[in-house]
Amino acid sequence: MGIEARRTPIQTFYAGLAIFITGGTGFVGKILTEKLLRSCPDISTIYLLIRSKKDKSPESRLDEMFEKPLFDRVKNEVPNFRKKIVPIIGNLDTENFGLSENDKNILINQVSIIFHMAANVRFIENIKTSTIININATATILKLAKLMPNLKIIYRLARISSQWPNTYTFTKAIAEGLLRDESGNLPVGIFRPAIVLSSAEEPLVGWIDNMYGPQGVTVSWALGFTRFLSCNPDVKANIVPVDFTVNALIASAWNVYNQFRRGKNTLIYNFVSPVDGPTWNEYRNAFVDTNKTYPLYNAKYFPFMIYVQHKILYRICVWLGHFLPALIIDAISICINRSPRMWKLCKKVDKFSNAIEPFCTNEWSFSTDNVQAMWSRLSKKDQKLFQFNMVGFDWTKYLFDHYMGMRLYLLNEDDSTLEISRISRNPLKKNYLTQRPTSASPLLSYTEDKELDVVVQKLIYVESAIRKLTKEMKKYIGALTNLDRADQRLSTNLINCGLAQNNDECRKIVEEYYSVATQVGKNVQEISSLCHKTFIEPLKKFRNEFITIAAAIAKREELVATWKYVYNRVKKLQEKKDRTASHIAKLERERRAEEAAAKELKTIHAQLLTELPTFLGKRLEYINPSIHAVITIQLNYYGHATQLYTQLMPIQCSSEFTSSMIPEEEHQRIINTELNRLRALTIVKDH
């Protein structure tokens, strides 16, 4: 009684029921399965329709699915969840799903709720294949549902679209009509989400695992392959997060059952982006801004995206910007005995682009009244547990998390590759070596980790100091050059202005000054050249060695991440009480993988501990000659310049010279007298 009292209305609805899910191993299906297990823990059973794939049995596919980080949270909160999952072996493109008689009887007698989400999501699939999977499968579901005595609700996931730009939306629309027309008195609901992207909040922020929809183009853009997309930047991007989508889906099944509407009055829920959702231009800009800070390690070219609205111009851009470079690269690959793959990749990306083109160039309006009304019917606890209200949604944070999730879950790039990625993006503005090594405990001792960390910190300081010295030397040469130019202009103006033409003594002094300034100018050119050859260029070559060091440390970081991942998998497998042969075999495989990763990591770590201190110790042997050369160059330059100016006007740096100089007061009196004589002139007075 106490447990029932603590349940929310939605949890009470699902308690004790058996659910049949098609498409449970897909992107949305995984989230739905995880959410039902975690937030409706009193569910009796979840039957998942699953087929064999790539020499993997349905059971092994389920095991792999539940090993993903997506299910880590439910493992902690509902430890016995695995007992609730029952695989039903079947295939959508087979008559009656190819169900065995036993499985069919189990579904008929046990199932109370059906979530039919399986579909062929390839937008450009041929009409025959799409019909078999998207329409015939729905008919099979209806036939099964009519035999189920305990059925409370049959739910169909459809694609929202006002038009049918491809076989996917066309066959889904037909299947939707079939469901409404042929369901009779069956309790049916239809849920139409917009383009479903990564999770916003749960169970993992930014989680995504497929390349369909905009993800395929976005990933290709981030890697530097895609440059152009047929898109209207001002069209709203009708996108929604997958966790909000699943929450609304679970709540709408409860809502449909309570409203009891049938046939033509079937409730349809349009779950779409709100009016303040981002445009495709804002979507692109958010990714560009995030990519500047978090570039991809595997990016081949600098990423940028240009939206083109005119179809003919778009095709020209695609051929010149995508296919032509692909042909050239593939031709070069063939010449050097490498496998050509760029043309194939570009064709695949072009298919993705063409598939999403209707959704990037058109904008449709949909009624969300049913979704809003459903939200208002939810209790406060259910609103918190099954959050799907998009009003006031933080799109800036979501798009950032979406990029980071794509980076982590689709491209397998974590922070261990970030520093080397930033170096590759802009090597001129960043130090090559900035990343301190991550601890590899418990594989390596604290002393081993600390020893490497100390060496790397010293190298970071050395590289930073070299960078500053090079920068200051360039500034010094620039200042010296500017001073020489000022000397040249001054001496040239003096000799050409005519002030000294009427006085032989003055003319002689000016000519000698011009001669000295010219000779000093030649010395400046020489010192500039020598400083580049003996200081800037050698230190630049020395600093380039830090690229190799940074790459070696980045390699170690990758190995640390790999070892930690396998190590944690072994720990989790050891903690399980499962003693089946398959579990023991899996544990043994993971142990071997962990041993191999540990061995490779120790080898790299030992190599770094040997070579980096040696490199650090020899740095002065390389740098010292450059410093000595700079001192010698400056000594010669200033010595020669002093000699030239001394010959121009001999002076003696002695007390006699100091005593023979005109006192400052007397010097000022003479200047004032001469100025007064000038002011007394008529030409000055009149003005």
The predicted-structure confidence for 276-331, as pLDDT tens digits, reads as follows 889 988 888 888 888 888 888 777 777 888 898 888 998 998 898 888 988 998 89
Other Cβ atoms closer than 10 A to 334: 11
pLDDT 10s digits, 92-139: 778 888 888 898 899 999 999 989 887 665 555 556 666 666 777 888
Q: Say which DSSP state 618 is in.
A: T
Least confident of 43-47, 147-151, 164-168, 477-481: 164-168
Q: Which residue has the higher pLDDT, 208 or 510?
A: 208
Question: Which pLDDT belongs to residue 662?
Answer: 57
* Per-residue model confidence as pLDDT tens digits over 533-576: 888 888 877 777 777 787 788 788 888 888 888 888 888 888 87
Task: Please check the confidence at residue 253 and state whether its pLDDT lies above 60.
Answer: yes
pLDDT for 627 equals 82
| Predicted pLDDT at 171 | 67
Tens-place pLDDT, residues 329-359:
889 888 877 788 888 888 888 887 887 888 8
Highest mean pLDDT among 369-383, 598-612, 673-687: 369-383
User: What confidence score (pLDDT) does residue 492 get?
Assistant: 82
pLDDT band, very low/low/confident/very high, at 157 (cuts 50, 70, 90): low
pLDDT value at residue 548: 77
477 contact partners, CB below 8 Å, separation of at least 6: 527, 528, 531, 532
pLDDT above 50 (res 686): no
Phi, psi of 112 (to 5 degrees): -115, -25
Average pLDDT of span 34-54: 89
Q: Using alpha carbons, select from 264, 263, 254 the residue that is nearest to residue 115.
A: 254
Choose between 128 and 378: higher pLDDT: 378
Beta strand spans in 233-335 (E): 239-241, 267-271, 306-308
Poorest-pLDDT segment among 212-226, 490-504, 528-542: 490-504
| pLDDT range class, residue 199, cuts 50, 70, 90 | very high
The contacts found for 580-589 with CB under 8 angstroms, 24 or more apart, are: 582/60, 582/63
Contacts of 376 (CB under 8 A, 6+ apart): none
Task: Enter the tokens of residue 271.
Answer: 């779950």
pLDDT at 9: 92
Averaged pLDDT, 385-398? 90
Question: Which one-letter amino acid corresponds to residue 127?
Answer: I
What percent of the chain shows pLDDT beyond 70?
84
The residue whose two tokens read 């990343």 is 435
> What b/e string do you get for 2-12 counting C-beta neighbours within 10 Å, with b at 16 or more?
eeeeebbebbe
Confidence band of 577 (pLDDT split at 50, 70, 90): confident
Per-residue pLDDT at 681 exceeds 60: no
pLDDT at 417: 67
The average confidence (pLDDT) of the chain is 81
| Residue in 204, 287, 307, 305 with CA at minimum distance from that of residue 239 | 287
Binning pLDDT at 50, 70 and 90, where does residue 18 land?
Answer: very high
Q: How confident is the model at residue 660 (pLDDT cuts 50, 70, 90)?
A: very low
655: confidence class by pLDDT, cuts 50, 70, 90: very low
Residue 486 CB coordination number (10 Å): 11
Predicted confidence band at 19 (pLDDT cuts at 50, 70, 90)?
A: very high
pTM of the model: 0.63
| pLDDT(578) > 60 | yes
pLDDT at site 427 = 47
Q: Which residue do the tokens 């190590």 mark?
A: 567
Q: How far apart are the first and last CA of the chain?
A: 109
Mark residue 97 as left, alpha or beta (left: phi above 0; alpha: psi -120 to 50; beta: remaining).
Answer: left
The yes-or-no verdict on residue 162 having pLDDT over 70 is no
On the CB side of 570, how many CA atoms lie within 13 Å of its CA?
16
DSSP class of residue 166 equals: S
CA distance readout (Å), 236 to 123, 273, 433: 20, 9, 42
**pLDDT value at residue 464:** 80
Does residue 684 register a pLDDT over 70? no
d(CA 684, CA 687): 5
What number of CA atoms fall less than 13 Å from residue 158's CA on the CB side? Answer: 30
Query: How far apart (Å, rounded) are the C-alpha atoms in residues 206 and 406?
Result: 7
Paired with 88 in beta bridges are 49
Whether residue 687 is predicted with pLDDT greater than 50 in this model: the reply is no
Domains of the chain (ranges plus CATH)?
1-194+238-276+364-389 (3.40.50.720), 216-234+278-362+394-427 (no CATH), 446-647 (1.20.1270.60)
